[in-house]
Structure formats: structure tokens, C-alpha cells
């Protein structure tokens, strides 16, 4: 692969960063993953807007403009012949020379890394026809989940716990209510109504969530933004999650209990179709 590091394109084997990089030492970095379909970027502006917000919240300086980001993304797609997959982008507070809790002095350049991840068949994933199974785990993450940081250890542990039980993913539960999935936003459907947790610092503001809710609204579907419990999910007609890399994914089991018929629901299937076709139409 040809990757991008701090202004240069190079083979991945040559792209190295300092052992003093704050991303490495303190998990002091933010990221985005933008999906590529048909060699084009989906939801590009949404991801760049969220990136700018994450940087601002953490006071990480980075003066790369939206148009420059676009150029870098497109160049990586071209250099790597990427058709379907994603582009990973990470910005850390940079190489600070030594380990120190204090932020480095103004003018310390951030470390900027981008690379492609090829995932052929992403839009035709057979998992979407079967639906996936989730377990629930307590949400032990920090309370600024609206900032997309690379501090993903707990999400990683949750996914491993799910795998250990032969399931596909984990839902986080806090104060009795589902916050979100390990790397996605989650939804249930009851009597035709789509229920999903409202935006706050408790969850990541999914770019896919925002588009899918808009499309659902345009399709005259009823939406209620509020927290829901595991018991409610188990008694729901259907469940699903959304994320940039899996679009709309039906969920057919929660903590060992089948949701609805135990098969992907019609609302999830319909939203998946709409979302993928609209994403292809608006990709840049
Ligand atoms: N929540 C979490 C914790 C995530 O990691 C992700 C994936 N980025 C999402 C939600 C979904 O966000 P998006 O639709 O922007 O991919």
C-alpha cells in the first residue's frame, strides 16, 4: 500500500512515527473512517465536519482544509486502485520529544496518517442477509464518547467478549439503557416506530445515523429519539445498527434472545437498500 504521512505519500513499510508520539504514549489522537464505494468517497463532508469538531474539542491544532483532505483521500484511492473499502485518517498531537502530561508548546505539528483499507464485497456483505447477534456489556468508557478518539481499548475488549461467546458484536449499557454498539449506533423498531438514543456526549454522533434518520423521515417512517433497554430490544419487532463501514446492519439476537422473527426485519432491510443506493449516488 501507498500511505500518507505528514505531507508525503510513501510505501507503508517506510511510514514510521516517533516513540514519543502522543498518539502512541497517551492515546492522544482522533480519527475518522470514510467509506469508499465504486472508487468514490461516501459522506465525505460529514466525516470532515466531525473530524474538525473532534480536533476542536481536544485543542489539537491542524490547518489542513476540507479541499486538501479531499485531495489526499482521492490521491490514496487512485494510488492504491481502491474500489470498495475505506480510508482511515488519524491525527495525533504529535511527537513531543518526551513523555509529559502537559500539551506540547504551540507550533508542535500534529502527526497526520491516512491509509486505505480494501474491503471488496462491502456493499453485498452476506451478514446483512442473516443478521448479526449481540451481547450486552456495561459501558465502562469515558464520558466524552462524542469525540472520536483512538482510545478504543474497551470497544476492543467488548468485541473480544462477544467473539468468545460466539456472537458478532457488543452493545454498551449504562444506567440500564443501551448507549451504542462497540463501533456503531443502535436502533430498535416497535410497531413501525424506529427508536434510537438521542445525541449527547454519551454516544458518538454517527454520520451514518444522521443520514439514515433523514432517509427514514423522508420515507415517512416514524422516529423516536430516546434511550431504550435490553428488555425492550428483546421484545422489539426488529433491531439494527448503523456505521460507515457496515451501513445498516440487521440485528437478530440480543443476549441470547431472538429479536422479532429472528430474521432481519423489513425496516432494516429497506433502510439498508436506500442508504447504499443513496450513498452511491452522492459519493464524490
Ligand atoms: N459509535 C461508535 C462508538 C463508533 O465507533 C462508530 C463508528 N465510527 C459509530 C458509532 C458510527 O459512526 P459512523 O456512522 O460515523 O461510522
The CATH number of whichever domain residue 67 belongs to comes to 3.30.470.10
Spatial separation of the C-alpha atoms in residues 187 and 196, rounded to whole Å? 5
Residue of 247, 206, 226, 212 whose CA lies nearest to 84: 247
pLDDT in tens, the chain (284 residues): 999 999 999 999 999 999 999 999 999 999 999 999 999 999 999 999 999 999 999 999 999 999 999 999 999 999 999 999 999 999 999 998 999 999 999 999 999 999 999 999 999 999 999 999 999 999 999 999 999 999 999 999 999 999 999 999 999 999 999 999 999 999 999 999 999 999 999 999 999 999 999 999 999 999 999 999 999 999 999 999 999 999 999 999 999 999 999 999 999 999 999 999 999 999 99
- pTM of the shown model: 0.97
Does 112 share its domain with 146?
no
Q: What is the ipTM of this complex?
A: 0.99
Whether residue 136 is found in the same domain as residue 274:
yes
The rounded Cα 17 to chain-centroid distance in angstroms is 24
Give the domain-ending residue among 79, 100, 123.
123
207 and 248 both lie in a single domain: yes
Same domain, yes or no, for 12 and 89?
Answer: yes
Predicted local confidence at residue 153, as pLDDT: 98
* Cα-to-chain-centroid distance, residue 263: 24
* Ligand 1 center–CA 212 separation, angstroms: 13
Instruction: Please give the Cα distance from 231 to 195 (Å, whole number).
Output: 14
Residue nearest to atom 12 of ligand 1 (CA): 206
253 and 144 belong to one structural domain: yes
42 and 22 part of one domain: yes
Q: Which atom of ligand 1 is closest in space to residue 46's alpha carbon?
A: 15
Do 97 and 196 fall within a single domain? no
* Domain extent for 102: 2-123
Question: How far is residue 30's CA from residue 39's CA, in Å, rounded to a whole number?
Answer: 25
Are 148 and 264 members of one domain? yes
State whether 180 and 237 are in the same domain: yes
Count of structural domains within the chain: 2
How many angstroms does the Cα of residue 86 sit away from the middle of ligand 1? Answer: 14
Question: Please, are residues 233 and 189 in contact by the beta-carbon 8 Å criterion?
Answer: no
Active site residues: 148
Domain end position, chosen among 84, 106, 123: 123
Q: Are 94 and 207 part of one and the same domain?
A: no
Say whether both 92 and 214 belong to one domain. Answer: no
Q: Are 113 and 7 in contact (CB under 8 A)?
A: no
Q: Measure 97 CA to ligand 1 centroid, in angstroms.
A: 32
* Spatial distance between the Cα atoms of 73 and 221, rounded to a whole number of angstroms: 34
184 CB near ligand 1 (under 6 Å): yes
**Alpha-helix residue ranges (DSSP H) falling in the chain:** 22-26, 44-58, 66-80, 127-130, 153-164, 207-218, 230-234, 266-282
Residue nearest to atom 2 of ligand 1 (CA): 183
Give the CA angle between residues 139, 145, 151 to the nearest 5°: 85
pLDDT the model gives residue 96 = 87
End-to-end CA distance of the chain: give it in Å, rounded: 22
User: CA 164, CA 6: separation in Å to the nearest integer?
Assistant: 38
Taking CA atoms, 163 is separated from 143, 156, 194, 241, in Å, by: 25, 11, 28, 18
C-alpha cell at 167: 456472537
- Residue 260 sits in the same domain as residue 161: yes
What distance in Å separates the CA atoms of residue 190 and residue 259, rounded to the nearest whole number?
11
Amino acid at each position: 500500500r501507498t500511505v500518507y504521512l505528514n505531507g508525503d505519500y510513501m510505501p507503508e513499510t517506510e511510514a514510521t512515527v516517533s516513540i514519543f508520539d502522543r498518539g502512541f504514549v497517551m492515546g492522544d489522537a482522533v480519527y475518522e473512517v470514510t467509506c469508499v464505494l465504486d472508487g468514490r468517497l461516501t459522506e465525505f463532508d460529514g466525516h470532515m465536519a466531525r473530524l474538525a469538531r473532534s480536533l476542536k474539542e481536544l485543542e489539537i491544532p491542524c490547518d489542513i482544509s476540507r479541499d486538501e483532505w479531499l485531495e489526499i483521500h482521492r490521491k490514496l484511492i487512485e494510488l492504491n486502485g481502491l474500489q470498495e473499502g475505506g480510508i482511515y485518517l488519524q491525527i495525533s498531537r504529535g511527537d513531543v520529544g518526551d513523555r509529559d502530561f502537559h500539551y506540547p508548546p504551540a507550533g508542535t505539528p500534529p502527526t497526520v496518517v491516512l491509509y486505505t483499507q480494501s474491503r471488496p464485497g462491502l456493499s453485498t456483505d452476506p451478514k446483512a442477509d442473516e443478521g448479526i447477534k449481540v451481547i450486552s456489556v456495561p459501558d465502562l468508557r469515558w464520558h466524552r464518547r462524542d469525540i472520536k478518539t483512538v482510545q478504543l481499548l474497551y470497544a476492543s475488549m467488548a468485541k473480544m467478549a462477544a467473539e468468545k461467546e460466539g456472537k458478532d458484536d457488543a452493545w454498551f449499557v449504562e444506567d440500564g439503557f443501551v448507549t451504542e454498539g462497540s463501533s456503531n449506533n443502535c436502533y430498535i423498531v416497535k410497531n413501525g416506530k424506529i427508536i434510537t438514543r438521542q445525541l449527547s456526549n454519551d454516544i458518538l454522533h454517527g454520520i451514518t445515523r444522521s443520514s439514515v434518520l433523514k432517509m427514514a423521515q423522508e420515507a415517512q417512517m416514524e422516529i423516536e429519539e430516546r434511550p431504550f433497554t435490553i428488555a425492550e430490544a428483546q421484545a422489539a419487532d426488529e433491531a439494527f445498527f448503523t456505521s460507515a463501514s457496515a451501513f445498516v446492519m440487521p440485528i437478530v439476537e440480543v443476549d441470547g434472545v431472538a429479536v422479532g422473527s429472528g430474521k432481519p426485519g423489513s425496516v432494516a432491510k429497506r433502510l439498508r437498500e436506500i442508504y447504499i443506493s443513496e450513498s452511491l449516488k452522492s459519493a464524490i
